[in-house]
């Protein structure tokens, strides 16, 4: 597989344009699965006597027709295999297609700002499938249950989708240092396929099991059954959609917020580690990435809690609960909130702005830059400083037990460069639309990092994105897709050489 990737990259400029048929076949299958998922909120609305079931019925039928057409007309296309350039095409096309059809139930509904509004419907759909959690809907406490469930399902599908993308596709494409995590799941040889299916099956079971366990815990702790199920799906997927405008501030009894903190962390752990743990490697969950993330979160939450205590804003338990929950929520890019933390003062605002960029572990449901890229950067800087002090010394750059080659380090540097260039461009574009600096800067950050709420009175934890201009919502939707798909899988499609024969 490694040789195949290198050969494909070397010959990228002289190969003919990639064939679309195999890509459309897979996209068709994904759309058929999405059509099936729409039946759950349809049945939910029927059960609760909500007329929005018709929106889901129509959307499911149209999505099935589109997916069935793509699959049937391209069913013979996979016999020739799947190339690296087709993989580059498949990733953004499948995510965009799901986001587009998933917007239909919002558009056809009769509720709130999404009804009949294309920009709002697409924004809500993209925010859901990318597990960002930014919303344009207010009055969630009175929204139809089917719509609330559909938002949770979107994030749940996006969570398992990004896990599959992160362990099976992105390592093979060598994007942003992800080749460091190449496993059997990114090997497409016949020998590896049984192992690939086994890993995928176990990950699916773990994902479903964690969701069911979270729903049970939320219910036993006092959440109504429907809310418990919806929040379990958006907790494990680190998505952040809630069934209430007050998010988790609505539920503070019986340790619910502490349980949610644990579930957000469980979703930000590489799911391959769960597979290894089940296989008998009981030290797997103490991976370097996980330990770094937990140490960082613990330090940030502790400092914030002490700040809240000494500034006389909360007592001991409340300070640590609010600090731990909201720090974990932002670092894992979930986006829940227990209160409007933008009212905690400038120090807290600065901290949360910085935390927006961090992200969880690779191979998890979290977005952001990811912990491992900061680790690689620290290793690279350490070696550079040592070479300045000892010019003739030899300082190997290792990540765990692996030697970091120049390709991995170059990929990480390229990713960080492109990430902040995109961030700057998106921030400036939002300011050009008339938005203030804090809204623009935090909105661009929360979109690219897939966090959810921004900062300030408009898009902060107590607000939403409904009042933004439509142009800003389209730009932020693009930013969410860019961030979720690790930038390069989308940007490479705009390079003319990619399409040139």
Bridge partners, 399 (sequence order): 402
203's enclosing H/E stretch is: helix 193-220
% of the chain exceeding 90 in pLDDT: 58
pLDDT, residue 167, reads 75
DSSP for 295-355, please give it.
Answer: HHHHHHHHHHHHHHHHTTSS-HHHHHHHHHHHHHHHHTT----SS-GGGS-HHHHHHHHHH
Distance (Å, rounded) from C-alpha 134 to C-alpha 452? 4
430, 470, 477, 228: CA torsion to nearest 10: 120
In this model, does residue 252 exceed pLDDT 80?
Answer: yes
- In this structure, is residue 491 part of a structural domain? yes
39's enclosing H/E stretch is: helix 39-48
Q: Which residue range(s) make up the domain with 437?
A: 398-499
Long-range interactions of 378-383: CB distance < 8 A, separation 24+: 379/404, 380/404, 380/409, 380/412, 380/413
Distance (Å, rounded) from C-alpha 244 to C-alpha 150? 14
Tell me whether residue 397 is exposed, middle or buried, using C-beta atoms within 10 angstroms of its C-beta: 0 to 12, 13 to 18, 19 or more: middle
Mean pLDDT value across residues 23-30: 90
Q: Categorize the per-residue pLDDT at 196 as very low, low, confident or very high, splitting at 50, 70 and 90.
A: low
Q: Categorize the per-residue pLDDT at 321 as very low, low, confident or very high, splitting at 50, 70 and 90.
A: very high
- In this structure, is residue 492 part of a structural domain? yes
pLDDT, residue 6, reads 52
Mean pLDDT value across residues 444-469: 92
Q: Categorize the per-residue pLDDT at 185 as very low, low, confident or very high, splitting at 50, 70 and 90.
A: very low
Q: Collapsing DSSP states into helix, strand and coil, what is residue 44?
A: helix
Largest CA distance in the chain: 76
pLDDT, residue 411, reads 87
Domain count, the chain: 1
Mean pLDDT value across residues 287-297: 92
In this model, does residue 17 exceed pLDDT 80?
Answer: no
Mean pLDDT of the chain: 87
- In this structure, is residue 288 part of a structural domain? no
Number of residues that make up the chain: 501
- In this structure, is residue 111 part of a structural domain? no
Distance (Å, rounded) from C-alpha 135 to C-alpha 138? 8
Among 35-49, 59-73, 181-195, 292-306, the range scoring the smallest mean pLDDT is 181-195
- In this structure, is residue 474 part of a structural domain? yes
Distance (Å, rounded) from C-alpha 456 to C-alpha 439? 6
- In this structure, is residue 233 part of a structural domain? no
In this model, does residue 217 exceed pLDDT 90?
Answer: yes
> Which of 193-202, 260-269, 400-409 is modeled with the greatest confidence?
260-269
pLDDT digits (tens, 9 = 90+) for 416-425: 999 999 999 9
Among 33-37, 187-191, 321-325, 430-434, the range scoring the smallest mean pLDDT is 187-191
- In this structure, is residue 11 part of a structural domain? no
Q: How many Å is the Cα radius of gyration of the chain?
A: 22
In this model, does residue 210 exceed pLDDT 90?
Answer: yes
CB–CB of 128/98 below 8 Å?
no
DSSP for 137-188, please give it.
Answer: ---GGGS-HHHHHHHHHHHHHHHHHHHHHHHHTHHHHT-TTGGGG--GGG--
pLDDT, residue 194, reads 46
pLDDT digits (tens, 9 = 90+) for 138-147: 999 999 999 9
Mean pLDDT value across residues 364-389: 90
pLDDT, residue 188, reads 42
Quote the pTM value: 0.89
Q: Which residue has the higher pLDDT, 68 or 493?
A: 68
Q: Categorize the per-residue pLDDT at 346 as very low, low, confident or very high, splitting at 50, 70 and 90.
A: very high
pLDDT, residue 9, reads 52
- In this structure, is residue 266 part of a structural domain? no
pLDDT, residue 80, reads 58
Query: What is the three-state SS of 370-437?
Result: CHHHHHHHHHHHHHHHHHHHCCCCCCCCEECCEECCHHHHHHHHHHHHHHHHHHHHHHHHHHHCCCCH
Q: Categorize the per-residue pLDDT at 81 as very low, low, confident or very high, splitting at 50, 70 and 90.
A: low
Q: Which residue has the higher pLDDT, 180 or 435?
A: 435
Residue showing tokens 């644990």: 262
């Amino acid at each position: 597989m490694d040789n195949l990737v290198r050969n494909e990259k070397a010959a990228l400029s002289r190969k003919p344009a990639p064939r679309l048929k195999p890509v459309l076949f897979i996209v068709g299958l994904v759309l058929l699965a999405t059509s099936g998922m729409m039946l759950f909120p349809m049945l939910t609305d029927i059960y609760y006597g909500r007329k929005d079931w018709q929106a889901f019925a129509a959307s499911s039928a149209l999505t099935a027709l589109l997916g069935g057409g793509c699959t049937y007309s391209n069913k013979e296309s996979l016999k020739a295999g799947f190339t690296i350039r087709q993989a580059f095409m498949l990733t953004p096309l499948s995510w965009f297609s799901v986001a587009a059809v998933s917007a239909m139930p919002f558009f056809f509904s009769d509720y709130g700002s999404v009804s009949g509004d294309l920009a709002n419907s697409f924004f809500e759909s993209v925010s859901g499938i990318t597990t960002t959690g930014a919303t344009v809907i207010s009055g969630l406490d009175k929204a139809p249950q089917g719509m609330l469930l559909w938002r949770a399902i979107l994030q749940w599908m996006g969570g398992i989708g990004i896990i599959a993308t992160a362990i099976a596709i992105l390592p093979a494409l060598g994007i942003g240092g992800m080749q460091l995590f190449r496993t059997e799941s990114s090997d497409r040889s016949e020998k590896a396929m049984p192992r690939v299916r086994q890993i995928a099956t176990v990950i699916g079971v773990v994902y479903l099991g964690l969701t069911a366990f979270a729903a049970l815990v939320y219910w036993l702790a006092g959440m109504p059954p429907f809310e418990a199920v919806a929040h379990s799906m958006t907790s494990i997927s680190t998505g952040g959609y809630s069934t209430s405008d007050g998010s988790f501030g609505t539920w503070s009894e019986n340790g619910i917020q502490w349980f949610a903190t644990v579930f957000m962390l469980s979703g930000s752990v590489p799911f391959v580690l769960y597979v290894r743990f089940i296989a008998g490697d009981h030290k797997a969950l103490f991976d370097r990435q996980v330990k770094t993330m937990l140490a960082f979160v613990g330090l940030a939450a502790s400092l914030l809690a002490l700040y809240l205590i000494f500034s006389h804003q909360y007592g001991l338990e409340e300070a640590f609960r609010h600090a731990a929950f909201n720090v974990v929520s932002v670092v894992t890019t979930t986006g829940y909130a227990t209160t409007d933390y933008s009212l905690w003062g400038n120090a807290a605002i600065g901290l949360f702005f910085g935390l927006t960029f961090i992200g969880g572990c690779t191979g998890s449901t979290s977005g952001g830059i990811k912990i491992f890229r900061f680790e690689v950067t620290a290793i690279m800087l350490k070696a550079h400083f040592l070479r300045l002090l000892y010019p003739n010394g030899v300082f190997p750059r290792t990540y765990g037990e692996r030697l970091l080659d120049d390709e991995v380090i170059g990929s990480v540097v390229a990713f960080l460069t492109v990430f902040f260039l995109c961030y700057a461009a998106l921030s400036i574009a939002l300011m050009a639309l008339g938005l203030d600096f804090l809204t623009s800067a935090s909105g661009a950050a929360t979109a690219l990092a897939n966090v959810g709420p921004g900062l300030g009175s408009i898009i902060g934890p107590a607000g939403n994105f409904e009042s933004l201009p439509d142009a800003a919502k389209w730009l932020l939707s693009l930013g969410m897709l860019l961030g979720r798909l690790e930038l390069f899988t989308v940007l490479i499609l705009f390079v003319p050489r990619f399409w040139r024969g």
